[in-house]
Each structure stands twice: as C-alpha cells, then as structure tokens.
C-alpha cells in the first residue's frame, strides 16, 4: 500500500482497539482514537474475577454532527471477552446542507472469544440524516451479541420520526468471507408514505443478534419467552366472552405495546435474531435488562442495568 493510501486509511479509521490474551487475561493492548470519537476503558465495571474488558464509545459534544464520519475497528483475540457500550443514547443532530452523518464499526472476533455490542439507542433529531454500518468477522466457535436500536426522536420536543434518513446495515461473515447474516434497515422520509405514518404509534425499533455456542442456552430461553409473550397478547381478545355482544358497540382491537419475533440463522441455527417494535423506550430497556441479564456470567455486569429507569 502506498504512503498516500495508508494515510487515507488511517484518517478514515478514527479508532482502533485490540484485545489480546495476556497471561491468561483479556487485555487491551492497543487503543487509539481521535476527534470526534473518544474511547474510555473503565476498570470497575466488572469484578476482577471476570475475564472481560469494557469499552465505552463517546463523541465530543454529546452527539454526532452533520457530516461526521466516525469509524471504529475492534479486534477481540482468541479466548478473550469484550463489551462495547455507550453512556447514553447516540444523538444525531440536524442535517446541514443535506449532509449525512456516518458511523462504521468493523469487528473481528477470535476463536472461543466473545464480543457484546450493547449500546443505548440512536436518537435522530428532526431533519437528521444518518447511516451506520457494522461488519463482524467470526469463527465457527466465536460468540457475538449485537443490540441495534433507534427511537423516534426527541419526544420532549414533540419530534416523532421526523428525521430525513436512517439506514443501519449489519453484516456477519464466517471465517472472514462467508456471508452468515446480511441485514439492512432503511427509513427514508422521501418515500411515498412518511416514516411516522408507517410506524403508527410505535416509537422504538430494535434488533438483537445472538451468535455462538456460549449463547445457545440464552437463545433457546429468549425464543421461548418471546413466543409466550406474543401468544398471550394475541390470544387475549379471543378469550373474552360476553352475553350481550349485540348491545355493545364494536371495539377496535388494541395493538400490542410491544411486538417481537425470533428467527434462527446460519448452519444448524448457530445464530438468532430478535426484532422488536414498541411504544416506549422504557419498555425496550426493560426487555433488554431482563433477557440479557444472563450475559453477566460472561462480561461481569448485566447490560442496561443502570439505563432507562
């Protein structure tokens, strides 16, 4: 690679974290970042008995400004454990001159390693334009947790789905280049129907990816609980019977405050994706706290235990 190309590559990749096994312990051996990205490596998130490192990704100014490009590369070595999170929701400020803000995450997860990407939601301001791409490269015995979610905007300011563009892409490749999971979400205000009309009363959209042998029990448990949760809601209206139906005015069926689905993917169902829409951010925080609490055994702390109260 020529010097000019190397310089351009370093400029684009504004952050890099390398986690390696040092004397039997997951250790950050390299951490680099520059404006507008900031990385914090606290050492008190998990008790010392847990072999896990926590990485907090922040932005100077408390949000992503129109035209920003934030890129982070993470390499989690063999037999290592790492968690990537945020301190608060990722705010995407209004677009200026139709510029799009971008975030890119490229992660490699080693053999028998675990990476948990458990951020707070993205919150796009009115007229914001935002695109994010996350690419993960794993082995057959790698373990990966990804939470990717967005809220409808600044509710306190009366904004609900008023951003111009949101695009989120998640790709997972097995053994470097074999496509395992390819997913994209696009919310574009320029389509024939507004985003708010399409989302109706739902204010949050989320996706959870669970992959790997260490997470198989969690996958089975989550799939069963989601199945029960949805069957209870959709069975409830039919379970109510009255003797004076004719005298009552017909009522419109109420929508579920949260709708969730589970789908396996990959060879022998090695992975599972959960998709959620909900009427409130708090309900999704509660869902995540409950269903991801088992990650405590791997990363030393329960994700979202201090969030969304």
Q: What is the pLDDT of residue 255?
A: 81
3-state helix, strand, coil in the chain (%, to 5): 25, 40, 35
How far, in Å, CA of 172 to CA of 149, rounded?
Answer: 17
pTM of the model: 0.90
Q: Cβ neighbours of residue 135 under 8 Å, at least 6 residues apart?
A: 104, 105, 106, 107, 171, 172, 173
The reported pLDDT for the residue numbered 9 is 46
Q: Which residue(s) pair with 271 in the sheet? A: 211, 265
Question: Helix or strand or coil: residue 103?
Answer: strand
Task: Encode pLDDT of 151-198 as tens digits.
Answer: 999 988 889 999 999 999 999 999 878 999 999 999 999 988 999 999
Give the pLDDT band (50/70/90) at residue 59.
very high
Q: Which residues partner with 28 through β-bridges?
A: 19
The residues near 273 (Cβ < 8 Å, ≥ 6 apart) are 181, 183, 207, 208, 209, 210, 262, 263, 265
pLDDT in tens, 21-33: 999 999 999 999 9
Q: What is the pLDDT of residue 108?
A: 98
Interval 71-127: pLDDT, tens: 999 999 999 999 999 999 999 999 999 999 999 999 999 999 999 999 999 999 999
User: 131-135, 235-239, 265-269, 298-302: which has the minimum mean pLDDT?
Assistant: 235-239
Asked if pLDDT for residue 221 goes beyond 50, the answer is yes
Polymer length in residues for the chain = 309
Name the more confident of 223 and 236: 223
Confidence check: pLDDT of 309 > 50: no
């Amino acid at each position: 690679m020529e010097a000019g190309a190397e310089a351009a590559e370093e400029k684009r990749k504004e952050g890099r974290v390398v986690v390696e096994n040092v004397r039997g312990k997951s250790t950050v051996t390299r951490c680099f970042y520059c404006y507008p990205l900031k990385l914090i490596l606290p050492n008190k998130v998990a008790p010392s008995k847990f072999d896990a490192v926590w990485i907090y990704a922040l932005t100077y100014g408390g949000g992503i400004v129109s035209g920003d490009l934030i890129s982070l590369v993470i390499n989690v070595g063999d037999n290592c454990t790492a968690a990537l999170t945020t301190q608060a929701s990722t705010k995407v400020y209004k677009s200026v001159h139709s510029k799009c803000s971008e975030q890119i995450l490229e992660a490699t997860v080693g053999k028998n390693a675990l990476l948990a990407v458990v951020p707070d939601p993205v919150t796009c301001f009115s007229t914001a334009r935002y695109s994010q791409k996350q690419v993960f490269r794993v082995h057959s015995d790698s373990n990966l947790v990804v939470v990717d979610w967005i809220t409808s905007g600044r509710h306190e300011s009366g904004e609900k789905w008023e951003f111009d563009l949101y695009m989120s892409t998640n790709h997972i490749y097995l053994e470097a280049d074999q496509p395992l999971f390819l997913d994209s979400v696009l919310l574009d205000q320029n389509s024939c129907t507004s985003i708010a009309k399409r989302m109706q009363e739902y204010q949050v959209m989320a996706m959870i990816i669970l992959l790997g042998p260490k997470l198989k029990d969690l996958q089975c448990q989550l799939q069963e609980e989601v199945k029960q949760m949805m069957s209870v809601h959709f069975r409830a209206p039919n379970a109510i019977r009255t003797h004076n139906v004719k005298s009552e005015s017909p009522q419109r069926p109420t929508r579920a405050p949260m709708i969730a689905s589970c789908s396996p993917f990959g060879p022998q169902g090695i992975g599972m994706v959960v998709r959620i829409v909900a009427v409130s951010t708090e309900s999704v925080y509660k869902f995540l706290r409950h269903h991801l609490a088992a990650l405590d055994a791997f990363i030393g702390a329960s994700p979202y235990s201090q969030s969304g109260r």
